[in-house]
Structure 1
Amino acid sequence: MAKSSKTEKSERRQVIDDIRRKQKRADKRQGMAIVGVCVVVALVIIGAALYPKARDIVNDQKWKGKSVAEIGAGADVCGDITEKEATGSGEHVPEGQQVDYTDAPPAFGAHWNVAGVAPTPIGDRFYTADSRPELEALVHNLEHGYTILWYDKTAGDDSGELSAMRAIAKIMDANDTNQRLKFKVAPGPPPTSRRPASPSPRASTSPSPTGASTRTPRSSTAPGSTAPRSAAPP
């Protein structure tokens, strides 16, 4: 017996409704999958952003309550002191003019003289490759009796060594009640070229230019320690 047109329409409608329901369920599953992927991506991005900060906090806790002598290695790990006559220490050049220093990192030489810029503020104790001022500004700090602990890219890529140097800078800042502890930590220029601000040598100190001397450690890390092998600043 032939089906009536009404029955056929009802069956077609049911088939269409079934297809629509299945499509909605499929769309819903797809939407949930997209949301899930987005959540995972967001968590990865947030985690990647927070990880360096969390790592630094953990590393910094290792040096909490320590003295500089307990963090840095002693002077016996340093190489021989090289003494040179400081030249150009009182020579000021216009801001923006780059100076080709003989040594990398420099211990003396011509520099900028701009209030609030060169010399750099004493409260700015620790610099990264992204935050370090130009060499011409820091050399002016050397003229004013600062000691600068320069570090290279290898140390800059080592969170443990960075943490140790940052701890030294914090200790010097916390104990400097009369601005006599003139100490900074900064990435130095590579030995073959003074630009850009990618650091070198591994860890060396440039004292103020009074017949300037520079001491460079023989190696980067004390046995059983992640502290940079640099002599404690005077």
Structure 2
Amino acid sequence: MAKSPTPAPGASRRDRLASFEVARKAEQRRRSIGLFAICGVLALALLAYPIYLFVDDYRARNATITDFGPAAAAAGCDPVATNPATGNQEHVADGTQVTYDRFPPDSGSHYATPAPFTKHFYTTADRPAVETLVHNLEHGYTVVWYRAEAPQDQVDALSDIAKTFGSDDYDPADKFIAAPWSEADGGPFPEGKEVVMTRWTADGANPADTTKQQGVRQACGQVSGAAIADFMTQFPVTNSPEPNGA
């Protein structure tokens, strides 16, 4: 606080009070200016953050999937693994916990209603039941499971990849979901991997032939848009048990 002006020797009590009042008002002005400056900075920050989110969202939605993450060859992906699929059209009551053979699953019994087409990315806070997402697999979705404890930069990259898929109009090419997996969901995530890409494939000429249905999976050490694009190209929506379901 600024020092009060020193009254002249012999100044009256009224003069001294006036001097103190001048100093008090000057201090109030300085505090008001400081508070105004702080409020201005906070207002700019509050305004800048939504703008940043808008720009980031716009950038992701107008990017291509291969713009995110390393090249497929540098993502530390295991070879694609296949195994006989199970659970075609086997619906269980909502709330039933299904024990799957693989973690995360690539086929199996599931709930009667799949997750909506309009949402492509889930967090641990809003993810549907695993059994719901397995139904999406039956309809030709690529479900990319990510380790629930994955580093934030990996989660952010996958979130950006999810934004490259449209949600306004139904398009089979946009059958993509990214969702977290934790050990509490039924089993451990593959050691040293951050994502597992999964598909439930079938003979495109005869999708109902369960003898030709397979669960397909590929685990990767890093999120790679290029690896996801390659996986989705290799296993198209049309080659699934129920490709026409939303």
TM-score, normalised to structure 2, is: 0.64
Give me the CA root mean square deviation. 3.8
Identity of aligned residues (%): 25
Tell me the SS of whatever aligns to 2:218: coil
C-alpha separation in 2, matches of 1:185 and 1:42: 36
Give matches, 1:36-185, under 5 Å.
36-63=37-64, 79-113=78-112, 118-124=113-119, 126-129=120-123, 130-152=125-147, 154=150, 157-158=153-154, 159-167=156-164, 169-170=165-166, 176=171, 180-181=172-173, 183-185=175-177
Q: Is the Cα contact below 8 Å between 1:220 and 1:229 reproduced in 2?
A: no
**Whole-Å Cα distance in 2 between the matches of residues 194 and 74 of structure 1?**
28
Partner of 1:27: 28
Match of 1:194 in 2: 185
Q: What are the ranges of 5 or more consecutive residues in structure 2 without an aligned counterpart?
A: 1-10, 203-212, 237-246
Q: Which moved more, 1:89-98 or 1:149-158?
A: 149-158
TM-score (norm 1): 0.66
Number of matched pairs: 203
AA in 1 matched with 2:97: Q
**In the alignment, is the contact (CA less than 8 A) between 2:83 and 2:214 conserved in 1?**
yes
Which segments of 5 or more consecutive residues in structure 1 lack a partner in the other structure?
1-9
Find the counterpart in structure 1 of residue 227 from structure 2: 229
Q: Distance in 1 between matches of 2:130 and 2:41?
A: 43
Alignment partners' CA distance in 2, 1:186 and 1:161: 7
Alpha-carbon distance, 1:28 to partner: 1.9
CA contact (8 A) 2:141 2:177 kept: no
The 1:112–1:27 alpha-carbon spacing in structure 2 relative to 1, beyond 3 Å, is same
Question: 8 Å contact 2:68–2:157 — kept in the other structure?
Answer: no
Shift of 1:189: 0.7
Cα distance in 2 between the residues matched to 1:69 and 1:42? 36
One-letter amino acid of the counterpart of residue 157, structure 1: D
Where is the strand percentage greater, Structure 1 or Structure 2? 2
Provide the C-alpha distance between the structure 1 equivalents of 2:134 and 2:30, rounded to a whole number of angstroms: 63
SS in 1 for 2:36: helix
